[in-house]
Amino acid sequence: MPDDLFAVPRLAAVYDPLELDRPDLDVYAAMVAEFGASRVLDVGCGTGTFACLLAERGIEVVGVDPALASLEIARTKPGAERVRWVHGDAGALPPVQMDLAVMTGNVAQVFVADEDWATTLVAVRRALVPGGRFVFEARDPARKAWLGWTREETYDRVELPEVGVVEHWTDLLEVTSTTVTFRGTYVFASDGKRLTSESTLRFRTRAELEESLRQAGFAVDEVRDAPDRPGLEFVFVASAR
């Protein structure tokens, strides 16, 4: 099930305005050009920012996401009419043959159970042409990014057009040997409404991720550093065998 941040319409509507700084999307767009991909699958496309960016550049894009509220926002964006939107997880994809599949942001880490991650990898592999590439990022658990996921470190107060003032912050709830659970809180000044969204991310090691890719039929070409978060993340580039 998608987190409330993406599935509850009022929260999904403020996701983009609160996440204006997305230099990671420029990195992914550069890789689309680097690999000469003309057909791209955006897994966990959310509100469609990246999918629409590519579509406006003439790329054939399929965007898939289980959060209907996010997809409804995606469909309103410039270029959205050129994207094929699919409501569901990667297993819901119709038969497609894409050159490149991407998972931006935290998407690769939302699959907490190993069986769900494995099933998703197989579905992505099936959607690629032989030799097609799969690119995604995952935080390096050794860097313990979650230590900064506190109200003190994340609190912000923003005035949004047609919405008003929104206060938001993150609280760390639980850390286990493999997962981190946190809660985002959003307070709308216009009516005092307070909404929350809890998330759990799975932190896999580089070795675990490489092995899972191999088992799903991928060859790991390289593991890059994330230019926008140097030293904090793995950026995997894998090829469908």
Distance in angstroms (rounded) separating the CA atoms of residues 15 and 166: 11
Residue 10, pLDDT score = 98
Residue 33, pLDDT score = 97
Phi, psi dihedrals of residue 111, rounded to the nearest 5°: -85, 90
Residue 83, pLDDT score = 98
Packing angle between helix 206-215 and helix 114-126, nearest 10 degrees?
50
Residue 227, pLDDT score = 87
Residue 95, pLDDT score = 93
Phi, psi dihedrals of residue 63, rounded to the nearest 5°: -115, 130
Average pLDDT of adjacent 10-residue blocks, the chain of 241 residues: 96 95 92 98 98 98 98 97 97 95 97 98 98 98 97 98 97 98 98 98 98 98 92 97 93
User: CB of 48 within 8 A of CB of 26?
Assistant: no
Residue 48, pLDDT score = 98
